[in-house]
Amino acid sequence: MIVVTGGAGFIGSNFVRDWLALNDESVINFDKLTYAGNLSNLASLEHDPRHIFVRGDICDTDRLSRLLAEYKPRAIVHFAAESHVDRSIHSPGEFIATNVNGTFSLLEAARAYWSGLSGERKADFRFLHISTDEVYGTLGPQDPPFHEMTPYAPNSPYSASKAASDHLVRAYFHTYAMPVLTTNCSNNYGPFHFPEKLIPLIISNARAGKALPVYGDGLQVRDWLYVGDHCSAIRRVLEAGCPGEVYNVGGWNEMTNLDVVYTLCDILDTLDPKASGSYREQIIHVQDRPGHDRRYAIDARKIERELGWKPAETFETGIRKTIQWYLDNQAWVRDVQSGDYLSWVQKNYAERNDTKGTTA
């Protein structure tokens, strides 16, 4: 069996569901269930004995050690993290606690467990750390995409905390020879995405008749990766990745934030049209966030060259699937839009007045 941390969150829950759909190996799902951790993401696994949920904090080394000793996994897949840049600007301490201290605690528990193994079980053990392209900083319009040897230059408390965790994972390989792997992914989207992030926020606000907020001029560029593709890349790295290596995972889909919002509006105009007009009429430009990176782009040739992985979805196919999922799962959207979520949205966007006074 494998242990998955943060397996009730967006990417983690997609990974757990896909894992159990594709093989019979059990998953120990260790999650603290913070605001973005949601057991309803895993409702389809409620009666599946291969899915064992354990509520816990990755900062609790003793709890982690007991968990590993009890279940004796062959691998740990580490998703658990605070992951929203805007939240990191307001509350950086939470990101240091989870992303840095929590990863350290997990590494320590994993190192002790792995050191006690022998023979093939020790040789076959893997610790797979899921990270982000944001650790590399920002790119100019003509700069080549991030590759695995791009120097780190994080610009937000979130990306700095993830960079620190990446360095810890690297150190455990070079210092202790622990068989670790790291993936740095581009922006994910897809089903079960918490509605504070751009794509689900726009879908939700559009259908509710609310403003569609775009930071600054909206020309920030991101590489978009469908979450199902990301999960398949993680499975491939776990299966065949070389210990100590880093693999960048991208979708080969660079788009400006404004073009993403336009695309969402246009597809919604077709799939769920308003009584009159276009959803584009709801777009407003709001004050940009501090330190907003201008462009991210991933060079995913290494994982294709060495492991034979490449994304199956284009942005056009993946985003249409995503929008349809949100239209078909309105009960899930309503349930996750709790008081905490609504308070957060109000706090974050109340500070950002309309900077242009017109729609896009």
CA angle 94/191/157 to nearest 5° reads: 20
Identify the CA nearest to 77 among candidates 18, 4, 126.
Answer: 4
The two three-digit tokens of residue 214, written as one number: 């775009």
Distance CA 61, CA 179 (A): 19
Distance CA 133, CA 248 (A): 8
Query: Is 140 in contact with 295 (CB distance < 8 Å)?
Result: yes
Distance CA 107, CA 84 (A): 23
Classify burial at 259, counting beta carbons within 10 Å of its beta carbon; exposed 0-12, middle 13-18, buried 19 or more. Answer: middle
Q: Where are the alpha helices (DSSP H) in the chain?
A: 10-22, 61-71, 85-90, 92-95, 103-115, 119-124, 157-176, 198-207, 227-240, 257-271, 301-307, 315-328, 330-336, 339-350
Classify burial at 269, counting beta carbons within 10 Å of its beta carbon; exposed 0-12, middle 13-18, buried 19 or more. Answer: middle
Annotated active-site positions, please? Answer: 133-134, 158
Cβ-based neighbour number of residue 206 at 10 Å:
24
